Structure 1
């Protein structure tokens, strides 16, 4: 059979391409053809009209809103999460075959496989919780480039000018090309400008996920209002949901045909912006701002054991689903603290990054030290896991967790929790939201921070190896090195 597919994850970095590769390999093994469009951070090459027309079924494996769903109208469509596409590809392809067969028999898409709906960017027919997660993750996926650019520029400014760069005059007031401090101040100013877009972009694209383009302007307006009243990231989340809900409700109103043409570009953005603006400035903005200020004060008051416990909790969350929704909650919480500038917030960012680096590094180390406990495929994946872990791409641990989740996931959660707590206790701080070891010179207390990462990697690797040896006598999983091509049944994992 011939399939087309789209894969998309919140960051658009690792899961998107891992899912595409899994689908391509499984289809090739089954004798099927598949063409995959990866909607990642680097953009995408759209599926051709010819491929879509020739496809027996469409697979949408996404944790965020899929762009261009309307292309698949009239096709059998199967929807799944990115994790399902990576971990259970065979079952997903079977669902696609069944949907294609039902479509061929009836001439209509299989009603059990949620099909495309032009009014939304997320999975239709799913529960409210699933759709809410996809709305929020769509907003987060568009925020991350602004976070990365702004955070790295701010970190660079402190590396060039030290902490006194905050007292330097703005580049628009005084700029000396021969002065390093002027360049540091310019980098800081550009980074802060990038950060100023975070909340409006978050709100705008949450609204976009819920109600398409007409909700973008109301979302941006609501996000800007959240910034103005001091409601922060939490206010941006609420503003985006309000924008999507208001515009979706307005779209249901029947209007004369003469007015319908200007509804998406004039009426819906106008009314949506007015309603969301009023709600944010007058009704919900102040209570959300109070909650945000309380959270900031609580973070600022944390110290010692309490801060270490928070670091441990966020570290465990980062490792739990390795780039999934729980991971993104912890990451977004840490990134949100960067805007406050509080020392504890910078410590939390450092803890989260260290905890996210450890799982791939630890599994790579474990597969190198005790090769016999890992399959040939896992030993091959260990080579890439070194670089992925060093780059703060926790998804590098997915191939190991997919094959042995009951041992690997609890082990890396424990190791990441230890790493997060140790990072806070070491007093390491970080202003960059991404980068791994490549932003190590931009951290506060870089040597203790590096030691924490090494210790966390060793501890996690030790726990993984201990877990894998439990009951190993009757479960020997890996082939000998000279039989690297031997298949390993899933039941032996």
Structure 2
């Protein structure tokens, strides 16, 4: 019976025995051109740049002469495969040599689970020798299409995909035979007569595979580890945390497991399930390239009392720190700090907006000290009145007082949450309590935002090293819930309280006085710097530093101390400029310079920009970073300078134009945004019309990929 057509690939997307150049970028560009020529992508250049950026982060070559470059791209309209059998092999980073068979997987940003399941099935098949041998033996393009459709036909039928494709099966404990029939496995058992058979049960290994894209390597690594487990006589169960829904491993399997293998490039979801188990950890590509070594290391760790263990019990090695592998200290530090900032922002956003609502309902007098009382008006009002006995000012003042007080308490968690989640990023769950305590000490010492950073790092380091101390088995259960929080809090908070808190508090006082003294040209220069930072990476590390700097001082802002409120206004206005400018350019000023998909993104960017969601510009920046990012920075710098120079203030940390009631000098705020938006849009139009995008050389490929990769480091926070 003929296989059901997948719709993923057609003869026009296949090339046989061709010479496409000597670099991976050359091959990717040709395949991206085929996808665009077939009508499945709006821009070949945008798709190629997305795939090259992905290739620059981790090579997609796998053992056996296979390469699977892949990318999610806003330019792709339908999940697609393009394939080339090369006459001249090309390096794609595989450990055993260059690739002669290349499958490019192109996926839209919004590809659904069923489509992704089909694509992952094909990716898993590409590590099977019988399938790759058939690809090499094929004599026509139609035969290649038939082989692909035959391989994924079962998934097409079960998913009801019909005409397109997409992402991978989730993890699991399905039967080995059923998985193997479709070219992959998430579960294996020791073969009869193997080293693990006999009266004693084979070693049981569980694990997780995950890569940033979640389309190919996640599932290929799972299958490779399962196959390696069979060869070693071990029973292996792998949870694939890919793009589609994840089916968690059975808790009974985890409880009975002898060891854990994490082949991941991102943090493992719900890692605490594996707490206390010996662990071997590496990048997902190692799971594809060296599965036998990873399984051997896991088996050796079972009987090694000094083996690293998953965070959460006893002799614990931190998950995030271990995940860093050979990562440079500076990169790890950046990740820890960004984790803290990302978890802190919801406290800031909720609390700041509640304070702003309090001012709207009750007036700015709600924050002043009540006559004859040591508490502010909000607390005094709430303590002395009820809904049945309202204050003379009425219901609005009463509700505004409540909103102001709740918001103030929420902002009070800012530094503690920052420190707690920095420590969590370093030492996982055992670091949270010491981190929160250190953050509270920073507030007590008036060390502020900087004290929270230092306290979180100290608490995380203390919790991490305490977790590495070998202890008796009976004591392991007490380590994460009693001993690590106790000793970690003593070390980190003691250092802050007795040694570091005073100098940091002095530094924060000097910084505050310096900011308050800024006027005229100095304030304008600060606005320019903040605007450049907000537009540099659109939600990435540099953007977050500027945003965190602004929100850290928000609670200290007042009529007498307006500098923090002015900084907040400049940061928010500058962050609104990039998406608004791209919306203006793509939907009004220069429509023909943008693809159909970009023009659609431009329509959405109007609302995203107005709401202060800088990520609305990311689809444009990812496709054309060397023209979009500089133009965005120019306009954002202009907006920041105008805001700081004219004294615009914001008592809300988020919300854009929709928190107009919390903006001081609202018309100048709007004017600054409009001017910056127009400047950015005009600069971008000029660059698109007169600065042509040329095919870069190999060195420039890497530079372009690095520039785009900055965008991809963002946390999913709308700032």
Q: Distance in 1 between matches of 2:121 and 2:668?
A: 51
**What residue in structure 1 maps to residue 566 of structure 2?**
347
- 1:106 Cα offset (Å): 5.2
Q: Structure 2 vs 1, CA of residues 343 and 110 (structure 1 numbering), >3 Å: closer, same or farther?
A: farther
The answer on whether the counterparts of 1:103 and 1:109 sit within 8 Å (CA) in structure 2 is no
Q: Distance in 2 between matches of 1:231 and 1:475?
A: 51
**What residue in structure 2 maps to residue 319 of structure 1?**
535
Q: Distance in 2 between matches of 1:78 and 1:109?
A: 21
Does residue 443 in structure 1 map to residue 663 in structure 2? yes
The structure in which a higher percent of residues are helix is 1
The answer on whether the counterparts of 1:221 and 1:273 sit within 8 Å (CA) in structure 2 is yes
The structure in which a higher percent of residues are strand is 2
**What residue in structure 1 maps to residue 452 of structure 2?**
236
- 1:455 Cα offset (Å): 1.5
Judge which range, 97-106 or 436-445, deviates more.
97-106
- 1:98 Cα offset (Å): 5.3
Tell me the TM-score normalized by structure 2.
0.55
Q: What are structure 1's unaligned runs of at least 5 residues?
A: 1-15, 35-46, 81-94, 477-489
- 1:100 Cα offset (Å): 5.0
Please show how residues 50-199 of structure 1 align to structure 2 within 5 Å: 53=186, 57-60=209-212, 73-74=260-261, 76-79=263-266, 99-103=286-290, 108=295, 118=311, 119-121=318-320, 123-125=323-325, 126-167=327-368, 168-170=377-379, 171-175=381-385, 177=387, 178=390, 179=394, 180-199=396-415
3-state SS, counterpart of residue 649 of structure 2: coil
Q: Distance in 1 between matches of 2:616 and 2:604?
A: 7
The answer on whether the counterparts of 1:207 and 1:215 sit within 8 Å (CA) in structure 2 is yes
Question: Number of matched residues?
Answer: 429
The answer on whether the counterparts of 1:75 and 1:109 sit within 8 Å (CA) in structure 2 is no
**What residue in structure 1 maps to residue 512 of structure 2?**
296
Q: Distance in 1 between matches of 2:208 and 2:266?
A: 15
The answer on whether the counterparts of 1:430 and 1:442 sit within 8 Å (CA) in structure 2 is yes
Q: Structure 2 vs 1, CA of residues 210 and 471 (structure 1 numbering), >3 Å: closer, same or farther?
A: closer
3-state SS, counterpart of residue 287 of structure 1: helix
The answer on whether the counterparts of 2:535 and 2:578 sit within 8 Å (CA) in structure 1 is yes
Question: Can you list the C-alpha shifts for 1:335-364, whole angstroms capped at 9, x where unaligned?
Answer: 011021130110110111110011001011
Q: Distance in 2 between matches of 1:33 and 1:431?
A: 52
Q: Structure 2 vs 1, CA of residues 425 and 107 (structure 1 numbering), >3 Å: closer, same or farther?
A: closer
**What residue in structure 2 maps to residue 225 of structure 1?**
441
Q: Distance in 2 between matches of 1:260 and 1:110?
A: 23
**What residue in structure 2 maps to residue 456 of structure 1?**
676
- 1:175 Cα offset (Å): 2.9
Q: Distance in 1 between matches of 2:284 and 2:378?
A: 64
- 1:471 Cα offset (Å): 3.6
Q: Distance in 2 between matches of 1:201 and 1:252?
A: 25
Question: Can you list the C-alpha shifts for 1:405-464, whole angstroms capped at 9, x where unaligned?
Answer: 111111100110001111122321101111111112221111221121112111111111
- 1:260 Cα offset (Å): 2.3
Q: Distance in 1 between matches of 2:405 and 2:265?
A: 46
Please show how residues 376-387 of structure 1 align to structure 2 within 5 Å: 376-387=596-607
**What residue in structure 2 maps to residue 366 of structure 1?**
585
Where relative contact order (Cα < 8 A, 6+ residues apart) is larger, the structure is 1
Q: Distance in 2 between matches of 1:77 and 1:398?
A: 25
Question: Can you list the C-alpha shifts for 1:355-387, whole angstroms capped at 9, x where unaligned?
Answer: 001100101110112111112221121111111
Q: Distance in 2 between matches of 1:181 and 1:447?
A: 26
